[in-house]
Structures are given as structure tokens and as C-alpha cells.
Amino acid sequence: MTGMERPATRAGIDAALRRALEYAEPVGDDADVPVGAVVLDPDGAVLGAGRNEREAAGDPTAHAEVVALRAAARRRGEWRLEGCTLAVTLEPCTMCAGAVVLARIGRVIYGTRDAKAGAAGSLWDVLRDQRLNHRPEVIPPDLASPDVASRCGEVLTAFFARRRVR
């Protein structure tokens, strides 16, 4: 943490995850996994937002976090996003965790764990790796309200259930 961020409260965590959920909700017959992310400035204003666009864009790097980080950097006019918070509905993967570290994000809030690819403590812990020069504060799902955290997982569960039916 750079010192610019306010302490995370449950209300603030929930509000950030609700914003990310707005981008995770599937649109029509969306083929992309419904993950949403927002980058908030130190005052809580949205600097950038994104959803998974890998299928839509044909881009393997178009994860929600990367889309949101790119939008925030464009809006801020620089790649350093110090003092900002990334809220994402699913635990970041190694690529996204690496992008978070490189962008100097101050805090990461995520809504559901990813046992198969999570890099914020589930499978790896890139975000808190002591060997790296930057380590954001990590706010896991347990610190969110159960209804908000469960909604993050439900969006994904429903998406994959629909795909199995097809």
C-alpha cells in the first residue's frame, strides 16, 4: 500500500465489487467468461472498467483486469496506477497479477477464488511475492459481505451451467 489508500471497509469492498459485477453480467449470448473489473482512483471514482473480451476481440490478453488497467492508464495519462484499487469478480490469474504489479496498483479486491488459476493466494501468490518490487494489498472474498461474494461466484456458475446445457 502506498499510503494514499483509505483502509478497506466492508462497505467499500462491497461497493467496489458491485461495480465490478456490473461488467461481469453476461450480455446476450456472450461467449466470454463473465468476469468484470474496475480500477478506482484513491477517491473511489472509476478510472477504467472492463470485462473479459478474449472471444470478442480474439485477444488472449483481453482479460477483464487487463482491459480495465489499460482504460485506467489511458484516462490517467500514465501507466503507473499508484494509489488505485482494482476490484475484480474473480481472483486474478498469473498474467493479470503480473500486470497489477507492473501497474503499481495499491489494492486488489476480488470476489471469488479461482482454485485452477488464481494468483492471489489460491494456486500462486504473485501479488504478495516478497521477491517483487511492488506488492499491493490483497482483499480476498472473506472480507466482503457473503451476498456480494456469493454473487461473484454465481455469475460464473450460471455461465458454465448454460454452456454445459448447449
Q: How many CA atoms lie within 13 A of 39 on its CB side?
A: 29
Q: For residue 18, give the H/E element and its range.
A: helix 10-24
* Residue 93 labelled as part of a binding site: yes
Amino acid identity at 13: I
CB 136 within 8 A of CB 108: yes
User: What is d(CA 21, CA 102) in angstroms, rounded to the nearest whole number?
Assistant: 24
User: What is d(CA 100, CA 125) in angstroms, rounded to the nearest whole number?
Assistant: 12
* Residue 134 labelled as part of a binding site: no
**Active site includes 22?**
no
User: What is d(CA 112, CA 122) in angstroms, rounded to the nearest whole number?
Assistant: 10
- Among residues 5, 25, 53, 65, which one is catalytic? 65
User: What is d(CA 16, CA 108) in angstroms, rounded to the nearest whole number?
Assistant: 10
User: What is d(CA 17, CA 19) in angstroms, rounded to the nearest whole number?
Assistant: 5
Q: Which residues does the annotation mark as catalytic?
A: 65
Which residues are annotated as part of the binding site?
A: 63, 93, 96
Which residues are annotated as part of the binding site for Zn(2+)?
A: 63, 93, 96
